[in-house]
């Protein structure tokens, strides 16, 4: 019976340690913001774009700096063809990148464009709704960051009616198609290091098991 007890205790301790190692859980990764409980690296891949502006997609720390993930070298592959379609290797040259989100900090994704023709000012839209004018939704998230998520942006071009865009999300000046800049993202699995006390407890259980075995042999 003692042997069974030690085996049960060892299994329980091992399960507890295993529970401490696993993928970090995102506090949020969507339209309410981006933040993680642990430092987490996320891999991003550019899919395609359909905006007529030469845009940059960047990670913006709220109250801090920003890091550009992808830059369009031109507005599209072939002008207006295929609704200003831009593809990897033509419009965007570096289509894979990673960013390490630090624990406890809040971030957003920003789709920014430079000043354009006819004195159009530089501007940006954000994946976090409350950072946009009128708190409009300018990005859609399909999936989860740990299993893989597609992020689709609506830029600030087009001419759809304010009522339509107000219902569907997107700035009233947008066309509400949410295909102007599309990327996928997936977090890398991270492992938490077990606390020293937990490791010591597991060691004590193992030591007890060895002592028990020796006593049984001596008897």
**Helix (H/G/I), strand (E/B), else coil: 34:** strand
Class of domain 26-187: mainly beta
**Helix (H/G/I), strand (E/B), else coil: 16:** helix
Predicted confidence at residue 134, as pLDDT, reads 86
Question: Which two tokens mark 102?
Answer: 């630090």
Rounded Cα–Cα distance for residues 67 and 123 (Å): 16
Rounded Cα–Cα distance for residues 37 and 101 (Å): 10
Q: Is the dihedral of CA 122, 128, 134, 138 positive or negative?
A: positive
Angle between the 2-20 and 196-218 helix axes, to the nearest 10 degrees?
160
| pLDDT tens for the chain, residues 1 to 219 | 554 544 445 444 444 444 444 444 657 999 999 999 999 999 999 999 998 889 999 999 999 999 999 999 999 999 999 999 999 999 999 999 999 999 999 999 999 987 766 555 678 999 999 999 888 899 999 999 999 999 999 987 666 777 777 777 787 777 888 999 999 999 998 755 555 554 455 455 455 544 455 555 555
- Cβ neighbours of residue 89 closer than 8 Å, sequence gap 6 or more: 95
Q: Where are the domains of the chain?
A: 2-20+193-218, 26-187
Rounded Cα–Cα distance for residues 43 and 71 (Å): 16
- The Cβ of residue 53 has, within 10 Å, a number of other Cβ atoms equal to 22
β-bridge pairing 123-126 and 40-49: unpaired
Q: For residue 70, what is the enclosing H or E element?
A: strand 66-71
- The Cβ of residue 171 has, within 10 Å, a number of other Cβ atoms equal to 24
Residues 116, 117, 123, CA angle at the centre, nearest 5°? 25
Predicted confidence at residue 152, as pLDDT, reads 97
């Amino acid at each position: 019976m003692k042997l069974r007890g030690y085996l049960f205790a060892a299994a329980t301790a091992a399960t507890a340690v295993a529970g401490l190692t696993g993928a970090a859980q995102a506090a949020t990764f969507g339209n309410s913001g981006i933040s993680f409980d642990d430092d987490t690296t996320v891999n991003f891949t550019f899919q395609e774009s359909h905006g007529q502006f030469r845009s940059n997609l960047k990670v913006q720390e709220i109250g801090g700096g920003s890091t550009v993930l992808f830059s369009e070298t031109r507005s599209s592959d072939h002008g207006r063809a295929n609704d200003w379609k831009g593809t990897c290797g033509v419009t965007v040259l570096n289509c894979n990148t990673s960013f390490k989100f630090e624990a406890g900090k809040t971030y957003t994704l920003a789709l920014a464009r430079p000043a354009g023709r006819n004195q159009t000012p530089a501007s940006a839209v954000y994946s976090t709704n409350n950072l946009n004018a009128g708190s409009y939704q300018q990005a859609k998230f399909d999936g989860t960051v740990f299993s893989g998520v597609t992020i689709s942006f609506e830029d600030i071009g087009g001419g759809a009616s304010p009522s339509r865009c107000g219902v569907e999300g997107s700035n009233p000046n947008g066309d509400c198609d949410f295909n102007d800049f599309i990327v996928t993202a997936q977090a890398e699995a991270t492992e938490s290091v077990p606390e020293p006390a937990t490791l010591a407890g597991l060691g004590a259980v193992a030591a007890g098991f060895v002592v028990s075995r020796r006593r049984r042999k001596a008897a």
